[in-house]
Amino acid sequence: MSFKGIAINYDYCTGCHSCEVACRVEHGYPDDQGGIVVVQVGPWQIGEDKYQYSFMPIITDQCDLCASRTAEGKDPTCVHHCQAFVMKYGSVDELAKDLDQNPKTVLYSLA
Ligand code: SF4
Ligand code: SF4
């Protein structure tokens, strides 16, 4: 049986932090903890009055893949609340098939 995981197309991550908030609320984590943390790099100046940010959501050891939600057939709450629809939950085998069509995507194999 394939592991389950989460794929994130970070190229389109806006850094909105909704995934972090959703995870904390779902699990009752304090503000400085969570199953997902969005790291911001930048701003870097890339032209006159032009700045670039990069965002990378990192899944931590506090992630239980929303076991109670996924047992009911629901998406993990971070995936459900992603404002930019850049997160996808599923079997690692299936998620991996999309990787060569989706550059700047990370795949977390979790359980
Ligand atoms: S899958 Fe659930 S526990 Fe894991 S990071 Fe997302 S919201 Fe948090
Ligand atoms: S909710 Fe989606 S768009 Fe917002 S920070 Fe998390 S991964 Fe990025």
CATH number at residue 76: 3.30.70.20
Please tell me the distance between residue 15's alpha carbon and the centre of ligand 2 in angstroms.
5
What is the reported pTM? Answer: 0.95
56 lines ligand 2 (CB under 6 A): no
DSSP string, 32-92: T--SEEEEEEEEEEEETTEEEEEEEEEE-TT--TTHHHHHTTPPPHHHHH-TT--EEEEEH
If one counts the domains in the chain, the total is 1
Please give the helix or strand (H or E) that residue 10 lies within, else none: none
* Residue 74 belongs to some domain of the structure: yes
In which domain, by residue range, is 27 found?
15-89
Let me know the angle formed at the C-alpha of 54 by 25 and 63, rounded to the nearest 5 degrees: 30
- The pLDDT of residue 2 is 86
Residues found in the chain: 111
Is the pLDDT confidence value at 1 over 80? no
Q: What is the pLDDT of residues 44-100, one digit of tens each?
A: 999 999 999 999 999 999 999 999 999 999 999 999 999 999 999 999 999 999 999
* Residue 62 belongs to some domain of the structure: yes
* Residue 37 belongs to some domain of the structure: yes
Measured by CA distance, the residue closest to atom 3 of ligand 2 is 13
* Residue 23 belongs to some domain of the structure: yes
Please list every protein residue whose CB sits less than 6 Å from any atom of ligand 1: 22-23, 26, 35-36, 59, 63-66, 76-78
* Residue 21 belongs to some domain of the structure: yes
* Residue 19 belongs to some domain of the structure: yes
C-alpha span between 56 and 108 (Å, rounded): 12
* Residue 109 belongs to some domain of the structure: no
* Residue 67 belongs to some domain of the structure: yes
